[in-house]
Amino acid sequence: MKSKLLILLFFCTGCLIAQQIDYVDFKRAAVSLAFNPQESEVFGEVTYTLEIKKTIDTIFLDAKNMQFSKVVLNNRAADFIYDGKKLRVIHKFKRGETYQLMFKYEAKPKKALYFIDWKDLNNNKLSEERGCFTCVKRPQIWTQGQGKYTSNWLPSIDDMNDKIEFDLSISFQNGYEVIANGALKDKIINDTTTIWHYDMKAPMSSYLVALVIGKYKKHEAFSKSGIPLEMFYYTDDSLKVEPTYRYTKQIFDFLETEIGVSYPWQNYKQIPVKDFLYAGMENTTATIFSDAFVVNDTAFTDKNYVNVNAHELAHQWFGDLVTETSGTHHWLQEGFATYYALLAEREVFGDNYYYWRLYEYLQELDVQDKSGGSTSLLNPKSSSVTFYKKGAWVLHLLREKVGEKPFKRAVKYYLTKNAFKNVATNDFITEVEQASKQDLKKFREIWLESKDLNYNLMLESLKKSVFIQEYLMVDCELYSSKCNDYLNSGISNKAMVKVISQIPDQVQKDNFKSSLEVRQGIATSVTKIPESLKLEYESLLSDASYLTVEAALINLWRNFPEDREKYLNATKGMIGFHDKNIRILWLTLALITEDFEEGNKPGYFKELTDYTEPDCSFDVRQNAFMYLQQIKACNDQCKVNLKQGTQHHNWQFSKFSKSMLEAINNN
């Protein structure tokens, strides 16, 4: 029977598998899921409703490394073939008819669905007696389907041009929160499990299907237009809710007004997860983001969630509501999200911040250009810097060229006309031409099709900002006679930091009376501390900035060996960012400082080594590994954990672990 089906599949008439969307429209997916987290397994039952656009005798779903059972088409057992990558159903599908395809499956996904901290859940090796000085197991399940990866855990369509309404029902053990796309319609609580029913009202691409399972609490607000804003947080992070989600409602309200199109979904949820692959991901109605952005008030100064928050929210329109047809038009998602996030930050932080960020983007693009990496914005193989940063720049320049009102009118028409559809660059440019009554052929050639950066043209646009003009004017290398004058002038904080970086040996006592930003510039640039500035420099250890404290601690420790104990005692209880930057530096310095708490050093060494354990977030582990390598103290436990790190799902950490392990072995 199987051989006959293979022959039928090979010779099927009108069966253009690569262009299935021309033949079949998958309308809705009713998905029921259950999990065995200890074994990283998912079990599902799915019913797809589909309409046939052209007569065809084979349809398929993308499905990686799964086992299927009970494949049924319109309540009858279906003929199917599964090759480990695609589930093909054989039938004489007739144009204009609707079918229901139902099946059960199970899988152990290698990517896209991640099971975090379920191994040895009741065996936390790190002592809880140290309080904050430890790593916490956070059993979670979360998805990351960007591109074409959802088919690793849910039989679906990798082609983002096929949009489907996904409704998820998820069964999981009591005591955990389950979050997915859409609105929570029902919860059925049983003795040991709860079934969560999530409902979507509109279609989306398969890569945007998402779920998170973990121990969370929820803070809820409402937008000006009445949309529920659900902000999730770990049960032990209640004091970090406000700084983490600061400005969320303001950003949401601003984007609805600025874009000119109402938020297109039922609600909006944001969920932090451990060891996420990126900063954030714009799944429809449910942004998943790295818990490294869960911050307190002090961390907010240096590293906060505001930009990621605004970027992923903007994607709900640009990427989720309207989706690129292919990678050639990827800037329509990432460039737009980057640009509208900048506009939102401009609303929060002001014009100077907006132009400063554009300036930073331009410097990144310039570095890429000088290394020979510049490509066309319409090149599907372009870098993220091109899609994100140059894409945002192009929108900034386009708005300047055609005017604010025509630009905003074009964006509104573009989104309204193409809602829940797929788009190409021409769809947007045509709307701008019509709204502005301008021919944009030349603009397209220069900014979209050419690989040239056109740095000087972009710089001229920036010079419309007096703030940027001042920053560019300040250059001690060219105007050395003015250096001391700059240090005593009323120039902006950014310009002052620039001066300090160029003439760190001329910093004066009065400069320490400046803003946190300038003091941070001193901490990072003045590495050789004169005795005359010692007292002022020591005051940096009390700043509400973890970056400042970290830099000041290492510089003071190096410059004044006789006072190392004083500096270590002053920073002994500090943790720092999510990656424990200050604590891990402190432990390292404590270990190599002579005559400092000799009796406690074994405990400090154990703590530092324990931070390399799999229970810890990968950023904490990476910090600990780096410092242990620097002091040549990566013992057997450290090496075992490093080897484990080479298998980590986060490719950047995996790459780091492989590189460090190779270096240790070579030495």
pLDDT for res 123: 61
Q: Which tens digit of pLDDT belongs to each residue from 561-584?
A: 999 999 999 999 999 999 999 999
Average pLDDT of the segment spanning 36-55: 97
DSSP string, 64-133: -SEEEEEEEETTEE-EEEE-SSEEEEEEEE-TT-EEEEEEEEEE--SSSEEEES-TTTT---S-GGGTTS
The dihedral through the CA atoms of 73, 75, 81, 87 has a sign that is positive
Average pLDDT of the segment spanning 171-179: 98
pLDDT for res 55: 96
pLDDT at 437 over 70: yes
* Superfamily the domain 216-316 falls into: Neutral Protease Domain 2 (1.10.390.10)
- The first and second tokens of residue 71, run together, are 């494949």
Angle CA 46–51–54, to nearest 5: 135
Strands of 24-65, DSSP E? 24-36, 41-52, 56-62
Q: Which tens digit of pLDDT belongs to each residue from 121-168?
A: 776 544 344 456 789 999 999 999 987 899 999 999 999 999 999 999
Tell me, which fold does domain 1-112+149-214 have in CATH?
A: Immunoglobulin-like (2.60.40)
- The first and second tokens of residue 364, run together, are 């990144």
Q: Which tens digit of pLDDT belongs to each residue from 622-667?
A: 999 999 999 999 999 999 999 999 999 999 999 999 999 999 988 7
Q: What percent of the chain has pLDDT over 70?
A: 95
Q: How confident is the model at residue 476 (pLDDT cuts 50, 70, 90)?
A: confident
CATH architecture of 325-467: Orthogonal Bundle (1.10)
CA trace torsion 118, 123, 129, 131 (10° rounding): -10
pLDDT for res 475: 84
Q: How confident is the model at residue 93 (pLDDT cuts 50, 70, 90)?
A: very high
Tell me, which fold does domain 483-666 have in CATH?
A: Leucine-rich Repeat Variant (1.25.10)
Tell me the pairing of strands 216-222 and 228-234: antiparallel
Q: How confident is the model at residue 90 (pLDDT cuts 50, 70, 90)?
A: very high
pLDDT for res 130: 43
Domain boundaries, the chain: 1-112+149-214, 216-316, 325-467, 483-666
The answer to whether 583 and 576 are in contact (CB under 8 A) is yes
Residue 200 three-state SS: coil
- Output DSSP code: residue 156: B
pLDDT for res 146: 87
pLDDT for res 478: 63
> Considering the chain, what is the average pLDDT of its residues?
94
- The first and second tokens of residue 295, run together, are 């911050």
pLDDT at 446 over 70: yes
pLDDT for res 147: 75
Q: Which tens digit of pLDDT belongs to each residue from 376-424?
A: 999 999 999 999 999 999 999 999 999 999 999 999 999 999 999 999 9
pLDDT for res 131: 53
Task: Determine the distance from the C-alpha atom of residue 542 to the mean position of all C-alpha atoms in its chain, rounded to a whole number.
Answer: 31
- Give backbone dihedrals phi and psi of 37, rounded to 5 degrees, phi first: -65, -30
Percent of the chain that is helix, strand, coil (3-state, to 5): 45, 20, 30
Question: Would you tell me how many other CB atoms lie within 10 Å of the CB of residue 175?
Answer: 8
User: CATH topology of 216-316 equal to that of 325-467?
Assistant: yes
- Give backbone dihedrals phi and psi of 300, rounded to 5 degrees, phi first: -55, -30
Q: Which residues contact 263 (CB under 8 A, 6 or more apart)?
A: 223, 225, 227, 252, 256, 316, 317
Amino acid at 15: C
